[in-house]
Amino acid sequence: MIKNIDDKQNNNFKLEVNTQIKEQLFSDVIFYIYNFIQNLNPTIESHEMFNRKILTVVIFSLTILGCVGGSSTEPAGGKDIAETETNKKESSFKCFNPNLWTVNTVHEFENNIEDTNTSYTSSGSYSLTDGFYKGKPILVKRNTAEDGTLIFENHVEVNQQSGTISLVRDKYNNTANDSYFDIIFTPELLERSYNLVSGESITINSHVKKESSEQSFPSYKPINDINGTLTFVGFEPIETSKGIFNTCKFKKEIEKTTYHNSQPLYKAYYTEKYWVTVDHGLEIKHEFSNGTYTRNRYLTSYKIDDVELFN
C-alpha cells in the first residue's frame, strides 16, 4: 500500500511539472511571436509572405506545446488500480464462502474415502455456534453423539476480511467414563487461507499442548510442533459425479515433531492437497500422503439446515 501511495505522488508530481513547463513554453512562444512580428516590414514584403511566416511560427509553437505531456498522460494511479483488479481476480478469496460460517446452523456432509488399504463411505455432522477463548471471539464446531455421551469440539478462529481459518483448540469429552482431552494450539494453527494469489505461500507454525485424563498427561504437556507451508497452486477444474467445478487448488507441506514426556521423540512429514469450489467454498477433494500411507476424500453431499449445497 505504501508503494502505491508513493507511485501516485510521483505521478502527480510529474503531471504538475509538465503543466508548469507547458505554461512557461507558451509564455516564451508568445514573446517570440511578438518580437518576430515587430521585426517584420509588411511594406517591403508582400502580405502573402507575411501571413506565411506568421502561420509557420504558430504551427511550430503548437507542435512544441502538443509534444509536452499531451493528452496521452496516464491518470495518476491508473496502473495501480489495474494491477489491484488483476490481483483480485487471481486471488483464492474467490473460493471463500462466509455463509459456511453462519452461527446457529447445522452442517451435514458425506464423503467417499479411498485409502491405502480400503474404500468406504463416511458421514458426519456438527452444529456451529459462537463463543470466546482468552477474550477472543471464536466459532465452535460441536459434534454430539445420539446418546449425548460423546462430545467433540473444534474451536476455530475465522477472519472473514482476510479469509483465514485457524484452529485454536480441540476438546473431547466422554461423560460415560469421565475421559477427556483438551488440545491447545499456540499460536493458532492455520488451516486455510483464502487471501493468496496463484503461486503464493504462507508459513505455518504452531506449538501443540495437551491435557488428558490419561495418566501420561496429568497436565498440559507438549505433544507436537507443527511447521510448514501452505501454497495456493492456482485455479483448476475438477470433474465430479455432479459435474465439473472450477476450484482453488491448495498444497500443504508439513513437518511434525512429536514429543514424549516433553522430549522430542521423532519427526514426520506429510503433504495435503485439497480443492475448494469457487463461490461455494466447498472442499470437494482432499489428498493426504506421508510417504507410506495415502488417503483421498471426495465430497458427495453437503447440507446446511437440510439444504443441499453441493449440486
- Domain boundary pick from 64, 90, 116: 90
- What are the pLDDT digits (tens) for 48-99? 555 555 555 555 554 544 544 443 344 444 444 444 444 445 899 999 999 9
Same domain, 58 and 135: no
How far apart are alpha carbons 16 and 11 in whole angstroms?
Answer: 9
Structure-block grid coordinates of residue 285:
477433494
Long-range CB contact pairs, 88-93, < 8 A, 24+: 90/197, 90/198, 91/194, 91/195, 91/196, 91/197, 92/163, 92/193, 92/194, 92/195, 92/196, 92/197, 92/232, 92/248, 92/250, 92/276, 93/163, 93/194, 93/195
Give how many domains the chain has, as a whole number: 2
Mean pLDDT of all residues belonging to the chain: 80
Same domain, 63 and 102: no
Same domain, 77 and 102: no
- Domain boundary pick from 35, 60, 90: 90
pLDDT for 32: 52
- Domain boundary pick from 60, 90, 120: 90
Q: Containing H/E element for 81?
A: helix 78-90
Whether the pLDDT of residue 158 is over 70: the answer is yes
In this prediction, residue 109 has a pLDDT band, given cuts at 50, 70 and 90, of very high
Same domain, 97 and 75: no
pLDDT for 14: 42
Average pLDDT over residues 28-38: 52
Residue 223 burial (CB < 10 Å; 0-12/13-18/19+)?
buried
Same domain, 292 and 143: yes
Same domain, 46 and 161: no
The sign one gets for the Cα dihedral 126, 235, 309, 302 is negative
Same domain, 83 and 164: no
Same domain, 111 and 184: yes
- What are the pLDDT digits (tens) for 163-210? 999 999 999 998 888 888 999 999 999 999 999 999 999 999 999 998
Domain that holds residue 25: 2-90
Same domain, 185 and 104: yes
Residue 194: strand, helix, or coil = coil
The sign one gets for the Cα dihedral 46, 48, 49, 54 is positive
Same domain, 66 and 193: no
- What are the pLDDT digits (tens) for 2-19? 333 344 344 444 444 444
Same domain, 170 and 61: no
pLDDT for 70: 40
